[in-house]
Structure 1
Amino acid sequence: MSLHVTLHHRFDGFTLDAAFDAGPGVTALFGRSGAGKTTVVNAVAGLMRADKSTIRLNDTVFDAASTHVPPHKRRIGYVFQDARLFPHLSVAQNLDYATRFGARGADRAQIIDLLGLGDLLDRAPATLSGGQKQRVALGRALLSDPQLLLMDEPLAALDAPRKAEILPYLERLKAESRVPILYVSHALDEVARIADEIVVLDAGRVRAHGPVDTVLADPTLIPLFGVREAGAILPATVMAQEADGLTRLSTSAGDLHLMGVLARTGARIRLRVLAQDVMLSRTRPEGLSALNILPVTIDTIFRGDGPGVAIRLRAGEDILLARITARALGQMSLEEGQSVFAVLKASSVAPTAISGAQTAQT
């Protein structure tokens, strides 16, 4: 799948001027409120027409100077922030509403299983939780046989437990469905768990675009991500579930031990490690309660306007971010190219920051 988007549209006090390409898998549109994310997906869906635009999916042009394909002819599924289910129809009837657009019976059974909807089919939307409603809305969108799925802040209205409930279904959808997804969010925890690529929008412009692990580890983007949300994605393999409840993981920089990650031995997962949870030491520390000590190399030092400093670290074949004070940087005499040690507590990676696995509570 190849999606090309070029948009220029002027609003009162705001101009969207963005261009990007998206491939298979999940491409996240990330940015603060008002960055232009919803405008982009509405234009892709055909719900609005920009002043100037080129939107092309594979070999089909949806929008150009003399072309505008109406929404119902684009074969694009759309899941909104609110589920928008038909309140007078049961879950099964909401799903069946979409099958008139071409889905086969086998698709219906597969999607019901994929999203865990089997026990909900006879229920009315009013009796469902927020997470259940979003799963039904997602199933309805998939049953319309889309060639592209748009998801506009689908978890924004959910509380933390409901969000935790639906994220594994999104991960399973990504793994098992062949439908490419354009996923809008301003929550980095969601993006880090499910996205393959990320497009960062700021005030209507594309500030960064690329693989999610590369972009999230760019220290120059911390002002857009927020200092407390800045971090990197670390791929890992589950090596063992140990007797004391910790899980031993293998990374390209060495082994980690984390609080009970429930995944089979050999499973590939990825961890979102926040920069504020990474400590640095010039020598290998001893006598610490922290179990995880990785040898790393300082790749880039980024000095912001405040007292903090962001440091991009090469951890084996992967990247970590650390955030320390400028004073600590000076006292430790840290320089780019220097070998140091990164220290992480076993509890520093939250369960919601681990993709590809369920997690146990501490």
Structure 2
Amino acid sequence: MPEVALRHRFGRHGFALDIAFRAPDSGVTALFGPSGCGKTTVLSAVAGLLQPQEGRVVVAGTTLLDTHAGVSVVPERRRCGVVFQDARLFPHLSVASNLRYGLRRAPRDATGPAFEEVVALLGIGPLLERRPGRLSGGERQRVALGRALLSRPRLLLMDEPLAALDAARRGEVLPFLARLRDAARIPILYVTHALEEVDALADHLVLLDAGRVLAAGTVEELTARTDLPLAARRDAGVLLPCTVLGSEAGLTRLGFAGGVLLATLEAGPPGTRLRVRVRARDISVAIEEPRGLSTRNILRAVLAQILPTGDGPEVFLRLAVGESTLLARVTRDSVARLGLVPGLELWALVKAVTFDHRVIAAGPSPAPDTMLDSPA
């Protein structure tokens, strides 16, 4: 399990970093937070590109940095594959030669996907003879991912790899990132300030602010908390792990630990596992069973808590739907008018058309992965 603990200050009165966290042995750990919170500084220290004043970094049982013990492995021996915002490919080499450069850097006894496997994984076979100048931004990033993976790293470090791409190119690269995550079976530290990338890729989440760790845990756990900055966003809501059950009247049936949701788009064949973001502002509640509505998703729930959103006119309702939790955002007036109190049985209403964006889902699955996200 990768361990990271770092302390560093830039100048006497400059930015100060003081963080510590652990990440799972495989999958994506997203470092998420606003610009300037220290995300890239963490990656630089882990990769050995920054020597912190105090720190300890352990990956796969190997100590890469321990300032108290006087250990600091040089960057080229840390076996960290790094992918930056810009692909940083060698412009005078073909795609194939760029990829083989990564393979030449791999230790002789290291194991990992072969050249042909990585090419197939990232769909870059038709690009092998081209040079980087003839590639789109999305294609360059896929090649950079392949080069990093072929170096057989202990750890992959990705510093906002999609930030320089437009929406179309981001949509192109996301599925390949998910494939790489599932094929690599190594820990990945992924820096981003885009929540949609967290939803799509991350298994574990580390929330940073002003050089400190606010919280760390699974994405599902942290999105359900109302005491974190995520809850202040207009797209705040929970992520529900779901499984495609089939279709009904042209709608996709999604099973989750609490019932069934209906969505308006096809999300793959039965058995496909996915995550659904259910935004708090897209849920309304009723104290009597609704009838004669166009809304298809009417879920029995118990009001677990009423939680403040700040000093404004809204509150969060934490709803227990079977074993799952939903968050609804309503006005204080609605709470008073409906007489809402913890323990009350309710009906939660979610429109099927809420789920209209498709990107690749996080988490390994034997079936094709999809994720549905409510509109921004």
Instruction: Specify the TM-score bucket, using the shorter chain as the normaliser.
Output: over 0.9
Task: Find the aligned partners of 2:223 and 2:45 in 1 and give their Cα distance.
Answer: 26
RMSD of Structure 2 on Structure 1 (CA):
2.1
Question: Whole-Å Cα distance in 1 between the matches of residues 132 and 169 of structure 2?
Answer: 16
Local SS of the residue matching 1:294: strand
Q: What is the aligned partner in structure 1 of residue 43 from structure 2? A: 41
**Matched AA of 1:209:** A
Give the secondary-structure state (helix, strand or coil) at the position aligned to 1:261.
coil
How many residues end up aligned between the 2 structures? 358
Match of 2:337 in 1: 331
Shift of 1:336: 2.3
Q: CA deviation at 1:346?
A: 1.2
C-alpha spacing 1:129/1:37, structure 2 compared with 1 (3 Å) = same
Say which SS state the counterpart of residue 180 (structure 2) adopts: helix
* SS of aligned partner of 2:197: helix
Matched, 1:350 2:356: yes
Q: Work out whether residues 201 and 208 of structure 1, in 8 Å CA contact, stay in contact via their aligned partners in 2.
A: yes
Q: Which amino acid letter does the alignment assign opposite residue 37 of structure 2?
A: A
Equivalent-residue separation in structure 2 for 1:106 and 1:81 (angstroms):
24
Q: For 1:320, give the aligned amino acid.
A: L
**Structure 1 residue aligned with 2:105:** 101
Preserved contact between residue 29 and residue 201 of structure 1 (Cα < 8 Å): yes
Question: Structure 2 vs 1, CA of residues 225 and 143 (structure 1 numbering), >3 Å: closer, same or farther?
Answer: farther
Q: CA deviation at 1:243?
A: 5.5
Aligned to 1:68: 72
**Structure 2 letter corresponding to 1:293:** I
C-alpha distance after superposition, 1:233-280 (max 9, x if no partner): 111111113463x21111222111112233111111111111111112
Give yes or no for contact 1:271–1:354 (8 Å, CA) kept in 2.
no
Q: Offset at 1:354?
A: 6.3
Which residue is equivalent to 2:284? 279
Are 2:192 and 1:185 aligned?
Answer: yes
Report the TM-score, using the length of structure 1 for normalisation: 0.93
Letter of the structure 1 residue corresponding to residue 189 of structure 2: L
* Mapping for residues 155-194 of structure 1, pairs under 5 Å: 155-194=162-201
Counterpart position of 1:18? 19
Counterpart of 2:140 in structure 1 is 133
Counterpart of 1:5 in structure 2 is 4
Q: Which residue of 2 aligns with 1:266?
A: 271
Separation of aligned partners in 2, 1:86 and 1:206: 36
In the alignment, does 2:351 pair up with 1:309? no
Per-residue CA distance 1:70-98 (angstroms, 9 max, x = gap): 11000010111111112222211111111
One-letter identity of the residue aligned with 1:227: R
Paired residue secondary structure (1:213): helix
How far 1:358 sits from its partner (Å)?
A: 7.2
Q: Which amino acid aligns with 2:60?
A: N
Contact 1:235 1:271 in 2 (8 A): yes
SS in 1 for 2:200: helix
* 1:80 match: 84
How far apart in 2 are the matches of 1:284 and 1:353? 34
Counterpart in the other structure of 2:52: 50
Compared CA separation, residues 351 and 145, structure 1 to 2 (3 A) = same
- Whether the 8 Å contact between 1:218 and 1:312 is mirrored in structure 2 is no
Percent sequence identity over aligned pairs: 50
Contact in 2 for aligned 1:216/1:231 (Cα 8 Å): yes
Stretch deviating more after TM superposition (269-278 or 105-114): 105-114
2:151 is aligned with 1:144: yes
- SS of corresponding position for 1:113: helix
Give the equivalent residue in structure 2 for 1:115: 122
Alignment partner of 2:257 out of 243, 252, 257: 252
| Shift in Å, 1:224 | 4.4
**Kept after mapping to 2: 8 A contact 1:219/1:302:** yes
2:220 corresponds in structure 1 to 213
CA contact (8 A) 1:219 1:312 kept: no
Compute the displacement of 1:335 (Å): 2.0
User: Match of 2:95, as an amino acid?
Assistant: V
Q: Partner letter of residue 197 of structure 2? A: E
Query: 2:237 is matched by which residue type in structure 1?
Result: G
Alpha-carbon offset, residue 104 of structure 1: 7.5
8 Å CA contact 2:4, 2:22 repeated in 1? yes
- Give the conservation status (yes or no) of the 8 Å contact 2:275–2:371: no
Structure 1 residue runs of 5 or longer lacking an equivalent are none
